Structure 1
Amino acid sequence: MSAIPDAARIVRTVRGMAASDGAGVKLTRVIGTPQLPDLDPFLMLDEFGTDRAEDYLAGFPDHPHRGFETVTYMLDGRMRHKDNHGNEGLLVPGSVQWMTAGRGLVHSEMPEQEAGRMRGFQLWINLPAKDKMTAPKYQEFAPDGLPVVTPAPGVSVKLIAGAVDGVSGPIVQPATEPVYLDITLQAGAAWSYRLPDGHNAFAYVYEGGLQLGEGEDARPLAQQELAVLGGGARLQVLAGDAETRLILVAGRPLREPVARHGPFVMNTREELMQAFVDFQQGRF
């Protein structure tokens, strides 16, 4: 079976590694590891998911950010955020928060539950040099603010960013033109999606398993596996013998130097050092 010229291919697959963040919240880091340090413009992807309250109760107390954006997508559980600019909101199951840290803020993300399941994703997206010192802002979307389409039999797609069948997600970011789709496939269901030209992209399965790609480039992708995608623009997904859920994410690479340490992501070491000084002197 020969390769199909227009079909996207799997460049590599990786599994996440156990990590903790905040005040000891346990999670799986999938991007931002030695195996996959980044995927321009994506700097980090964490999956958090546990039924054990002790794994998340400590939350993420006050901490600073500068120079990038964070996207928090809640699948289960409730998380309250507050920042030092007076913003406050509550993330509930199915909701999304898109935070632009810009020139700097200090915020907290704390669970609003003492028992039950907490599950979701946090993705870090880089900002271009010209936007790193922009004013911080939040965009928050309740579950009913995220459109859902059924582009093929047995296929449901929730749109956070990007478009499917003429329907667009609510997030627009001209710098990276992101796509962020949450896809549910019934057993045996298939769907093809055309990725934007020139974007870096990945697929991450968080329930079930599927076959990704077409022809000789087709590969199985198991639960908690991430596939870095390349080649052609058309991606085909085919679910296995159980319902499968995955996120499909793409963004235009910035191709700029990255200087990062902890919660700050800048372009030069000097800018990074200045971020620490500004934070310590209360300029956030």
Structure 2
Amino acid sequence: MNTSQLVTDSVVNSRTIEQQLAGQVTSDGAGVKLTRLFGQSLQQRLDPFLMLDAFGSDSPQDYIAGFPAHPHRGFETLTYLIAGRMRHSDDVGHQGLLEAGGIQWMTAGRGIIHSEMPEQQDGLLEGFQLWINLPADAKMQPASYRDVKQAQLPEFTTVNGVAVRVIAGKSHGVNGAIQRPVTDPIILDIRMPAGSGFSQRLPVSNTAFFVVYRGDVSVGDQRVSKGQLAVLANDSATDGVTLQAGQDSRVLLVSGTPLRQAIVQHGPFVMNTTEQIQQAIKDYQSGRLTAG
């Protein structure tokens, strides 16, 4: 989009950084190495977001086994691929090839059994997977899936050369590829030249955080280095966040409306009560997880 068409998101009072997290190196699926930037211990603070994983390696042994068929119920996932190719397949009839710069948005709803497998034997595989909670009255909706190629993701460039890919929500008057009710996520991939700044308006009550995955970025006098997740403080006097790049940088900025509901997670199932979790396990074991 041409910069002259933008509706500028000016921020008068930026949020500050509440805490920074380095995440925990771990593995998932059939042994894929990744960094869990946050998980269950921060689910209440980062509501409606449940988990964020970052993966990135050019060593096939770190990713080649992929994520064979596994179940989910009660939430949504965003998979955003920076580099590489992955194939999605599930038991409700969806197939998709995720390529560099593209996303997959999956609503597990009442149940889905899917696989995510690398479609490459070598080279760099890099990206993020974010889990987003569903409100209680939407957890048992039918599963759905959407594959969005890079060319279909809206992008714009500001007057100071910051390039923004709008994955979800709205930024500077540009609507993202994904619009979701209730949680209203804003998810931006921001490419910032050294010395540039970028401001994003955020609702006061929204949860917000960002991950620096290239370079380093500052909010006020607080610097965030590559690989760090910064949780943004909620302050009624603020109207958004302003980022400043110390060098050429890339940032994933995430915000959403908290659900403020009970969260009970057991592995791939996220519900509101222990009884619902027990039912999910029973349904999966009896082959009825995805049955309408």
TM-score of the two chains, using structure 2 as the length reference: 0.92
**Kept after mapping to 1: 8 A contact 2:203/2:240:** no
Is it true that 1:267 corresponds to 2:272 in the alignment? yes
Is it true that 1:137 corresponds to 2:144 in the alignment? yes
Is it true that 1:251 corresponds to 2:249 in the alignment? no
Which aligned pairs between 1:77-226 and structure 2 lie closer than 5 A?
A: 77-212=84-219, 214=220, 218-226=221-229
C-alpha distance in structure 2 between counterparts of 1:74 and 1:274, whole Å:
33
Query: Equivalent residue of 1:8, what SS?
Result: coil
C-alpha distance in structure 1 between counterparts of 2:160 and 2:12, whole Å:
26
Count of paired positions = 275
Structure 2 partner of 1:55: 62
- Amino acid in structure 1 at the alignment position of 2:129: Q
**Kept after mapping to 2: 8 A contact 1:80/1:110:** yes
Structure 2 partner of 1:15: 22
Closer, same or farther: CA 66–33 of 1 in aligned 2, 3 Å: closer
Query: Equivalent residue of 1:152, what SS?
Result: coil
1:135-184, CA deviations, whole angstroms, 9 ceiling, x for partnerless residues? 00001100001011112312110000121221110101112000000000
Which ranges in structure 1 are unaligned for 5 or more consecutive residues? none
Task: Give 1:235's match in structure 2, choosing from 216, 229, 241.
Answer: 241
C-alpha distance in structure 1 between counterparts of 2:181 and 2:190, whole Å:
23
Query: Equivalent residue of 2:284, what SS?
Result: helix
**Kept after mapping to 2: 8 A contact 1:19/1:27:** yes
**Kept after mapping to 2: 8 A contact 1:151/1:165:** no
C-alpha distance in structure 1 between counterparts of 2:181 and 2:146, whole Å:
15
C-alpha distance in structure 2 between counterparts of 1:37 and 1:134, whole Å:
22
Shift of 1:37: 4.8
C-alpha distance in structure 2 between counterparts of 1:247 and 1:181, whole Å:
6
Query: Equivalent residue of 2:16, what SS?
Result: strand
C-alpha distance in structure 1 between counterparts of 2:146 and 2:129, whole Å:
14
C-alpha distance in structure 2 between counterparts of 1:233 and 1:130, whole Å:
30
1:73-106, CA deviations, whole angstroms, 9 ceiling, x for partnerless residues? 0000000010001110000000000100000010
Query: Equivalent residue of 1:245, what SS?
Result: strand
C-alpha distance in structure 2 between counterparts of 1:41 and 1:6, whole Å:
24
C-alpha distance in structure 2 between counterparts of 1:33 and 1:49, whole Å:
22
CA RMSD of aligned residues (A): 1.3
**Kept after mapping to 2: 8 A contact 1:185/1:244:** yes
Shift of 1:33: 5.9
1:35-58, CA deviations, whole angstroms, 9 ceiling, x for partnerless residues? x45510000000000010000000
**Kept after mapping to 2: 8 A contact 1:13/1:227:** yes
- Amino acid in structure 2 at the alignment position of 1:30: L
- Amino acid in structure 1 at the alignment position of 2:28: D
C-alpha distance in structure 2 between counterparts of 1:203 and 1:7, whole Å:
14
Choose 181-190 or 147-156, whichever is displaced more: 147-156
TM-score of the two chains, using structure 1 as the length reference: 0.94
Which ranges in structure 2 are unaligned for 5 or more consecutive residues? 1-10
C-alpha distance in structure 1 between counterparts of 2:248 and 2:59, whole Å:
25
Structure 1 partner of 2:7: none
